[in-house]
């Protein structure tokens, strides 16, 4: 199995990226989170899952190993294919999805196109224990419940930092000092990032 592909980004769309390495262009299906992380970059390392079927050979790419790990867990669930797993990962980032599964929030999972109640419940039942074992961090989403946190994350993303990393840092800052202003959060986050 291919672990990763490193090279120049020759084409980037919200659904795919073409990475050229040693004169070969690899067409890789990606999630919106990976697209956001790759935007503005000329070169990248993409962690890959290779799906080999009778009628097609496809590559699915991820900006980090955690997203790929969660993708592999999702496709292990009966009724979830690679396309559906990519759709789920495009709707939520790794931490959000890990929190949704760990908390058993089937209603939130149902909001993803193509996921019904039974499938959402199956994902939660099958993956609830595996999420904890796999080492995917369940970050408490302080930023989601705090307007200053949301504003700080938005500002960090506009400054060019990945959304996932920004969420993580802001959540950590707010856990330590929940009454920080937006400016204080951003200044502290810039020192960490």
pLDDT digits (tens, 9 = 90+) for 11-34: 999 999 999 999 999 999 999 999
Asked if residue 76 and residue 29 are part of one domain, the reply reads: no
Look up the CATH number of the domain holding residue 146: 1.10.8.10
- Looking at residue 88, what is its pLDDT? 92
Q: How many domains does the chain have?
A: 3
pLDDT band at 140 (very low <50, low <70, confident <90, very high): very low
Question: DSSP readout, 65-90?
Answer: HHHHHHHHHHHTSTT--HHHHHHHHH
The CATH number of the domain holding residue 16 is: 2.40.50.140
Domain housing 10:
4-62
Closest Cα partner for 49 from 18, 80, 24, 82?
82
Tell me the pTM: 0.66
Chain centroid to CA 103: 18
In angstroms, the CA 30 to CA 82 distance is 11
Task: Give the start-end residues of each E strand in 16-145.
Answer: 16-21, 24-30, 43-52, 57-62
């Amino acid at each position: 199995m291919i672990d990763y592909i490193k090279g120049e980004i020759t084409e980037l769309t919200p659904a795919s990226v073409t990475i050229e390495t040693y004169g070969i262009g690899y067409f890789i299906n990606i999630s919106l989170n990976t697209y956001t992380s790759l935007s503005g970059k000329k070169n990248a390392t993409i962690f890959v899952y290779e799906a080999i079927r009778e009628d097609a050979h496809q590559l699915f790419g991820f900006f980090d190993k955690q997203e790929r790990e969660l993708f592999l867990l999702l496709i292990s669930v009966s009724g979830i294919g690679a396309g559906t797993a990519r759709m789920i990962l495009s709707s939520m980032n790794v931490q959000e999805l890990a929190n949704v599964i760990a908390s058993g929030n089937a209603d939130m999972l149902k909001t993803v196109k193509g996921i019904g109640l039974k499938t959402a419940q199956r994902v939660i039942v099958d993956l609830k224990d595996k999420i904890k074992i796999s080492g995917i961090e369940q970050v408490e989403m302080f930023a989601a419940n705090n307007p200053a946190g949301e504003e700080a994350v938005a500002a960090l993303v506009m400054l060019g930092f990945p959304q996932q990393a920004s969420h993580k840092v802001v959540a950590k800052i707010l856990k330590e000092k929940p009454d920080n202003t937006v400016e204080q959060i951003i200044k502290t986050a810039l020192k960490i990032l």
